[in-house]
Structure 1
Amino acid sequence: MKCLLTLFFCFVCLRNAKSQYPFNMSEYLQMPPLYQLDDYDACLHYSNKPTKTYCVVYAEIVPDPFSKAWQRVEHFSVDFMQRYRHDRLFMGVCVERCESVWHGFNISQRQVFNSGPTDDAALKEYYDNVHIRSTKERQQYEVILNVCLNYEFQQKYQLQIKTNIEYCQSSDEAIDKDALDYTLYFIFLSIALFSVMSTIYDSQLKAKAATEKQQFFYETELTSTAQRYLTSFSVCRNFKRLTASPTGKTANDLKFLNFARVIPEFVIIFGHTAGYFMSVQVSNTEFVENFIHYEKTSFLENYTAVIVQIFFIMSSFLLTLLFNKRNPITPNSGFKECVKAYFKIFIYRYLRLVPTLALVLLFNATLMPRLHNGPFWRHLTEAERIFCRQNWWKNIFFVNNLTMDKSCTQHSWYISADTQLFAIFLFVLIFNARYPKMKKIIYTLLLISAIAIPAFIVYHKNIDPIMRINPEIYRYMFFKGVKTFYEIHIPFYTHLGAYILGIITAEIYMKLQNHMQSKSYRGVWWTELCWLTLFITLISFPFVGVNLTNKSSLWLGLYAGLYKNVWALFCCLILISTCYKLGGILYDLLSSSILQPLANISYQAFLWHVLALHLLLSYYRQPMYLNTPILVYFVILSLLITNLIAFFMTIFVEYPSTEIVNCLCRKSKDNFGRRNNKSPVTSHQD
């Protein structure tokens, strides 16, 4: 089913890509290609020199108003919000070739062709911070490569270029193993040993159990804390947890939320895959520019802005249900009791999130750079290696969305934002439980803030209200031109609306729950029609393209304040109406048991999907040709690999660590969040 949905979204997204962006293709092809790469393997492995070196160089074309070649480049680069800057190039250079050119010049010729470093000092500083391993080579070959490449570029295009070496790779270079590497190897070995021993022990317990209990032994929770510890890594038990059907009235009512966890994950992976193609070397860059033409892909930009609202709504919805089910605070609770409940709940959630997140950081810092090689491998992965070593604390303490500079695993900004919102609204729930008369006032203030904060930020800073798809952003892996991303897309305070609406929806659900059981509207034509109208409106909402160009700051601020919140409101209306089992065959599809395992691995899929993209796309030696079938193929392949990795990480890491945390908290009678493993809504959002 996921593959069919993938094909549908890709078709809708790309069917218009064939219609050309209005430009002269013959002139376009006369421009210098954005990526020019020497043969990587021939340079490093098939040369007679003892030590061979391959460098990736960033180049800027020097403007020449009298040159037709420059006029062509300038014309095609002026709309850099929808096109590449064709005066910014990446070149892969075999140093041995350029040394031959260098030695063929005398001193005066070298001076003539030495155009100096690039003007983008910030990018140079960024590369200096990331590619620490190449500091010596950059100093050694900077001038040689500048002279060589400038000479060749002038011969072909009659234009000058300034260059800056991003990094160099030597044939005999290897990454030295350190304590972090051995720590990761030790963890993997320990997980393997624990899994084998725990599985054997669990099978022995099953053999000793009564005959009538053996059939459902792995589905049954053990009563002994010691046995739960010892079977936490049991592969058989964890596999049953992954595939088990939900039990309980509320769990069955909310089975459709599995769809809401799986489909946004798919959309995110689809969007990141499409964006990743803007980061790698592509030969036919006109395809990418056609693809991101605003009028063709406004829906993708809109979905990028709103899709995570579904996760925030589910997070707050489930938080409210669990909080009211446990009921840890009453109007008679004291201050110490409130503080104790707050930290107990928050720490429990923190301990459930951290183990697999820490493993991702450790993997990116150690093993991932060793998995492949190629001209662009370090361009796309070295920042992860360096920043995960230097700034891991940003992710572990869930603040990387507030300090994205030099942070790793950037897509985990959502987890940090969700944790921050969880911390804030957990306080709100405790306060409301202690002072119930203040609830309406607090909710009103929060709803006003949810609209006012993003509106004020956009109006005051005069930025786009949604993150535009810009190829230049992806070329530098979100290093350049990301003001909207930093200011609007990732801070927790721009997502208050989804969270507070999720809480209100949960309270409405709890009040109507008895009515839902006694009164059925399923099959009634007017209720089904209302549900279908809501559903179509919800999925069509982002397809309504709004031209944000040359709009006033006041209008953009109003748009920023309302757009995501209106989408979130429609999501909540759909959520409540679906609780009444409206939707006919669509409800049956949303509640399908096939989605249960996919929903259970969605957290791991989100964490590890960027690794799948690195493995699929970062090792190519030459610029790759891109078209619609190839993009569809890679989207499907990335989904398959992502979910395969997520399956193993859920079985071997997430479930064991969660069970250990549950055992640690078991002695507390009011333990919040101890989950029924068969619940369809148990994930990191709990």
Structure 2
Amino acid sequence: MKMKWMLIVIYICWFTAPCGNCEQRNKTEYNKMPKMFHYDQYDDCLYEDPSVEASYCLVRVVIKPNNGSEVWKLIEKYSSNWKLDLNHAALDRGVCISDIENEGAKLRDQHFNVSIVPKFDINFPYKIGHDAFRNTESYKANFSILVDKIINAELTEKYDLQAYTEIEYCERRGVNEFPIDSLDIFFVVIMTALCIVVIFSSWYDYWCKSSIGLEHYRVDLPNKLSMVLASFSFIRNWYRLTSHSRDPLCRDLRFIQSIRYNTFVLILIGHACILVQTRTGWFVEERFRQPEIMIIVNGFQIVTTFFAISALVFTIMYIQKAQNSNRKPGALGMILIVTFRYIRLTPVYALVLLFEATWFVRAQDGPFWRRAAETELTYCRRNWWINLLYLNNYLRLDQPCMQHSWYLACDFQLSIIGVILVTLMLRLPKLKVKLLVTAAVISFIIPSVVIYWNAFDGATIFSPEGRRFVFWYDVGYHKTYLPMHMNLNMYIYGVIVGVLYWKIKKANINLGSNRIFRVTWYLLFLVWPVLFLSGQHFYTHDYSKPSLWMAVYFTVARGLWAFLLAIGFFGFLYRVNKPLHRLLNIRLFEVLGRLTYGAYVGHFFIMKMMFYNIRHVEDLGVFDTSIRINATLYLSYILSLVLTLLVELPVSALQKQLIDHFIKPNKRQARGEEEGERNEAQNSTKIANKMEGYTNDAFKATFKEGNDMQEFNQQ
């Protein structure tokens, strides 16, 4: 029976998939156009002859329209489908300038009397803006005319075309564009101080040992001052990281750590597709016409899985603590949970941001490196406060600092909504269903209105041309992918699943024994690729817009993904497939899941080092790309391990001790309302601590229940 259903789904996938290769593309004709990417040898230019002060410039080139040119007509033809094609009027050049006088004489000897092409109206993004690169104006003053003549000489000779050229940045032999400044020194001071604190705390913890062996590091020290001084103890935090909770609820949800790890791996694959530097435009455009690649492109919404997990675990933990305390949470509890979340999420985030704003640019070099690193330096120094306020998914989207951190901002904003919604449900249990339905309807309507009002397609279009600038200037990406309100439905559905978890558990229903549910669970592994592939229709077809059905489809597709996640969650929870369930509960995945937050925060600059630290462009195959993805994966988790032991867990432990000190009930104070507020604060602290074991912004809290020390972790 299962095989029958699987064959039916495969049949549907095969015959309903959009035809990605039906469009006839003539490569011989295609090659008549100017190459989109061409770069002189970087190392030969700058380092071959030490006696020559050579310069190497990255230049943006925009071809001037010429309706009388056959090549221009080809450019228009092969640039017509903006969803699948690059803009062939925008070229990228790397030009070596070893000697201005010799270069000028060479052009004169070849009888090229090329006139300078002034800037004309350009109605598309063609360069990285907002003064991202240092000293560009001085290089423009020295080299713009020569660069213009060199490039236009080639275009005129080979293609009978002319182009406007603009230097993006240059590198000159022997010139240090990034002298050490006070912010660089500040980062070194912070790291030095952090290492000293960790060494002192580890020594103090060892000095407090009263027994032989390592059991000392697994239990609390006798007083709070000692615990505060030992908060940064390396060995104690290692045991906190690798601890294995015996709490029944923790055991139920342990597989989520494995899901978080595997989701992160899929995110790495998507980011690699964005950052890889290709040799030809043909390579990129052909990949966008392949169904398997379109599954990855449309699968960028996989990151929304984290939103659902965050909502799910928070709801389960919050409801449990409210039930155990027999007290309804209030405003104080909500404020504390949000505050604790901010304190736990921010230190690692801020430290990585500071590194990218200082020393990261010096980590590598190459013709493309400054596009990856100097933009981070410039934008992070300029917009750091937007990131630390978690508003970078709404403000200055075209000059992003740590572009991937839009997710952190979105998750933090959604968590505030989640705290308010679940608190209202607990305080007004009779209105619980109405609150959930209202929230679900609102989360459905808002994205649909945005899609219809802005005349967008039924899926976020990640076009090849948008990819050229990592979607910094893509309006559709800004308005449909990054905002919190466009991802609200995933979070609300996570809250609903969290409520259903307790309802099903109290009803003592075993979904794993239900045959229909088991078949549905197995089918989801075939349905989700179909769901992602369905978005290809919006690439291969240009439907009239605005369109009501596309507005509805956008939200329904997100809702369907949330439904598949819910089915998957309950399937793992009730062990539909026991071998797979055992695999997901391997101890290693529990630790990796806790490290995933730090790995996510730091992976993007590591991936840039993999794909921008190159000397020449090449069309990477699956094997080469896989090697770089795996290298990024390993290095990201190594970085996360360091950040976790030096920053995340110590801050979490220190926060817990300080909170317990300031809000601990005083027996000499009157009972009544004041004591109730303190109890609420303590409950909120425990909720935040336990919840962070699985959500994406904090690592771990240590607390006692009975005589056992339970540890709940996250990242």
TM-score calculated relative to the size of structure 2: 0.85
CA RMSD of the aligned region, Å?
A: 3.0
Tell me how far apart the structure 2 counterparts of residues 49 and 114 of structure 1 sit (CA, whole Å). 31
Amino acid at match of 1:487: K
Structure 1 residues 19, 332: CA separation in 2 closer, same or farther (over 3 Å shift)?
closer
Tell me how far apart the structure 1 counterparts of residues 537 and 409 of structure 2 sit (CA, whole Å). 31
SS, match of residue 414 in structure 2: helix
- Aligned pairs (5 A) from 1:339-378: 339-378=331-370
State the shift of 1:122 in Å: 7.3
Structure 1 residues 20, 603: CA separation in 2 closer, same or farther (over 3 Å shift)?
farther
Q: Indicate if the aligned counterparts of 2:20 and 2:291 stay in contact, CA closer than 8 A.
A: no
Amino acid at match of 1:203: Y
Amino acid at match of 2:234: V
State the shift of 1:164 in Å: 0.6
State the shift of 1:330 in Å: 9.4
Q: Indicate if the aligned counterparts of 1:380 and 1:477 stay in contact, CA closer than 8 A.
A: no
User: Which residue does the alignment assign to 1:317?
Assistant: 312
Tell me how far apart the structure 1 counterparts of residues 91 and 283 of structure 2 sit (CA, whole Å). 17
- Aligned pairs (5 A) from 1:16-35: 22-35=24-37
Question: Which 4+ stretches in 1 moved above 6 angstroms?
Answer: 16-21, 328-333, 675-679
1:513 aligns with 2:505: yes
User: Which residue does the alignment assign to 2:711?
Assistant: none
Tell me how far apart the structure 2 counterparts of residues 448 and 119 of structure 1 sit (CA, whole Å). 44
Single out whichever of 220-229 and 145-154 deviates more from structure 2. 220-229
Tell me how far apart the structure 2 counterparts of residues 642 and 655 of structure 1 sit (CA, whole Å). 17
Structure 1 residues 285, 110: CA separation in 2 closer, same or farther (over 3 Å shift)?
closer
User: Which residue does the alignment assign to 1:191?
Assistant: 194
Q: Indicate if the aligned counterparts of 1:259 and 1:590 stay in contact, CA closer than 8 A.
A: yes
Tell me how far apart the structure 2 counterparts of residues 127 and 294 of structure 1 sit (CA, whole Å). 32
User: Which residue does the alignment assign to 2:678?
Assistant: none
Amino acid at match of 2:206: S
> Among residues 578, 582, 586, which one is paired with 2:576 in the alignment?
582
Q: Indicate if the aligned counterparts of 2:511 and 2:571 stay in contact, CA closer than 8 A.
A: no
Single out whichever of 401-410 and 384-393 deviates more from structure 2. 401-410
Tell me how far apart the structure 2 counterparts of residues 98 and 116 of structure 1 sit (CA, whole Å). 21
Amino acid at match of 2:423: I
Amino acid at match of 2:621: N
Tell me how far apart the structure 1 counterparts of residues 431 and 321 of structure 2 sit (CA, whole Å). 21
Single out whichever of 385-394 and 85-94 deviates more from structure 2. 85-94
Q: Indicate if the aligned counterparts of 2:372 and 2:612 stay in contact, CA closer than 8 A.
A: yes
1:529 aligns with 2:542: no
Single out whichever of 222-231 and 52-61 deviates more from structure 2. 222-231
User: Which residue does the alignment assign to 2:697?
Assistant: 684
Tell me how far apart the structure 1 counterparts of residues 497 and 130 of structure 2 sit (CA, whole Å). 49
Single out whichever of 75-84 and 388-397 deviates more from structure 2. 75-84
Tell me how far apart the structure 2 counterparts of residues 346 and 598 of structure 1 sit (CA, whole Å). 25
> Among residues 575, 594, 614, which one is paired with 1:620 in the alignment?
614
Tell me how far apart the structure 1 counterparts of residues 281 and 67 of structure 2 sit (CA, whole Å). 24
Tell me how far apart the structure 2 counterparts of residues 682 and 401 of structure 1 sit (CA, whole Å). 19
1:289 aligns with 2:285: yes
User: Which residue does the alignment assign to 2:298?
Assistant: 302
Q: Indicate if the aligned counterparts of 1:505 and 1:572 stay in contact, CA closer than 8 A.
A: yes
State the shift of 1:97 in Å: 4.9
User: Which residue does the alignment assign to 1:254?
Assistant: 253
User: Which residue does the alignment assign to 1:7?
Assistant: none
SS, match of residue 215 in structure 2: coil
User: Which residue does the alignment assign to 2:669?
Assistant: none
1:428 aligns with 2:421: yes
Amino acid at match of 1:316: A
Structure 1 residues 611, 463: CA separation in 2 closer, same or farther (over 3 Å shift)?
same
- Aligned pairs (5 A) from 1:211-230: 211=212, 214-230=213-229
Single out whichever of 432-441 and 382-391 deviates more from structure 2. 432-441
Tell me how far apart the structure 1 counterparts of residues 105 and 32 of structure 2 sit (CA, whole Å). 30
State the shift of 1:33 in Å: 2.0
User: Which residue does the alignment assign to 2:275?
Assistant: 276
Amino acid at match of 2:606: A
Q: Indicate if the aligned counterparts of 1:453 and 1:561 stay in contact, CA closer than 8 A.
A: no
Amino acid at match of 1:267: L
User: Which residue does the alignment assign to 2:8?
Assistant: none
1:494 aligns with 2:486: yes
Amino acid at match of 2:207: Q
1:416 aligns with 2:406: no
Tell me how far apart the structure 2 counterparts of residues 249 and 332 of structure 1 sit (CA, whole Å). 22
SS, match of residue 194 in structure 1: helix
Tell me how far apart the structure 2 counterparts of residues 634 and 21 of structure 1 sit (CA, whole Å). 32
Tell me how far apart the structure 2 counterparts of residues 310 and 151 of structure 1 sit (CA, whole Å). 52
SS, match of residue 293 in structure 1: coil
1:236 aligns with 2:235: yes
Single out whichever of 459-468 and 385-394 deviates more from structure 2. 459-468
User: Which residue does the alignment assign to 1:76?
Assistant: 78
- Aligned pairs (5 A) from 1:130-145: 130-145=132-147
User: Which residue does the alignment assign to 2:57?
Assistant: 55
SS, match of residue 62 in structure 2: strand
- Aligned pairs (5 A) from 1:547-586: 547-548=537-538, 549-552=541-544, 553-586=547-580
Amino acid at match of 2:603: H
Structure 1 residues 186, 289: CA separation in 2 closer, same or farther (over 3 Å shift)?
same
> Among residues 470, 479, 491, which one is paired with 1:477 in the alignment?
470
Tell me how far apart the structure 1 counterparts of residues 58 and 136 of structure 2 sit (CA, whole Å). 11
Tell me how far apart the structure 2 counterparts of residues 296 and 539 of structure 1 sit (CA, whole Å). 9
Tell me how far apart the structure 1 counterparts of residues 196 and 22 of structure 2 sit (CA, whole Å). 56
Amino acid at match of 1:186: V
Structure 1 residues 665, 110: CA separation in 2 closer, same or farther (over 3 Å shift)?
farther
Q: Indicate if the aligned counterparts of 2:201 and 2:232 stay in contact, CA closer than 8 A.
A: yes
Tell me how far apart the structure 1 counterparts of residues 385 and 695 of structure 2 sit (CA, whole Å). 26
SS, match of residue 169 in structure 1: strand
SS, match of residue 330 in structure 2: helix
Amino acid at match of 2:282: E
Extract unaligned runs of 5+ from structure 2: 1-12, 665-680, 699-713
State the shift of 1:558 in Å: 1.1
1:451 aligns with 2:444: yes
Structure 1 residues 135, 546: CA separation in 2 closer, same or farther (over 3 Å shift)?
closer
User: Which residue does the alignment assign to 1:181?
Assistant: 184
Structure 1 residues 154, 645: CA separation in 2 closer, same or farther (over 3 Å shift)?
same
Q: Indicate if the aligned counterparts of 2:269 and 2:629 stay in contact, CA closer than 8 A.
A: yes
Amino acid at match of 2:425: N
User: Which residue does the alignment assign to 1:466?
Assistant: 459
State the shift of 1:608 in Å: 0.9
Single out whichever of 67-76 and 50-59 deviates more from structure 2. 67-76
State the shift of 1:449 in Å: 1.0
Deviations 1:50-69 (A, max 9, x none): 64322110001223333333
Tell me how far apart the structure 2 counterparts of residues 244 and 630 of structure 1 sit (CA, whole Å). 36
Structure 1 residues 682, 152: CA separation in 2 closer, same or farther (over 3 Å shift)?
closer
State the shift of 1:261 in Å: 0.6
Amino acid at match of 1:286: W
Structure 1 residues 379, 531: CA separation in 2 closer, same or farther (over 3 Å shift)?
closer
Deviations 1:501-543 (A, max 9, x none): 2112212222333555xx6565676654343234543465324
User: Which residue does the alignment assign to 2:39?
Assistant: 37
State the shift of 1:98 in Å: 5.2
SS, match of residue 432 in structure 2: helix
SS, match of residue 606 in structure 1: helix
User: Which residue does the alignment assign to 1:542?
Assistant: 532
Tell me how far apart the structure 1 counterparts of residues 327 and 41 of structure 2 sit (CA, whole Å). 74
Tell me how far apart the structure 2 counterparts of residues 140 and 270 of structure 1 sit (CA, whole Å). 41
State the shift of 1:332 in Å: 8.1
State the shift of 1:589 in Å: 2.0
1:391 aligns with 2:383: yes
Tell me how far apart the structure 2 counterparts of residues 338 and 470 of structure 1 sit (CA, whole Å). 46
SS, match of residue 91 in structure 2: strand
Structure 1 residues 628, 39: CA separation in 2 closer, same or farther (over 3 Å shift)?
same
* Percent identity for Structure 1 against Structure 2: 25
Deviations 1:335-394 (A, max 9, x none): xx8332222111111000110111121111101111111111112222111110011011
Tell me how far apart the structure 2 counterparts of residues 114 and 545 of structure 1 sit (CA, whole Å). 44
Structure 1 residues 20, 408: CA separation in 2 closer, same or farther (over 3 Å shift)?
farther
SS, match of residue 177 in structure 1: coil
Tell me how far apart the structure 1 counterparts of residues 168 and 123 of structure 2 sit (CA, whole Å). 13
Amino acid at match of 2:228: Y
User: Which residue does the alignment assign to 1:64?
Assistant: 66
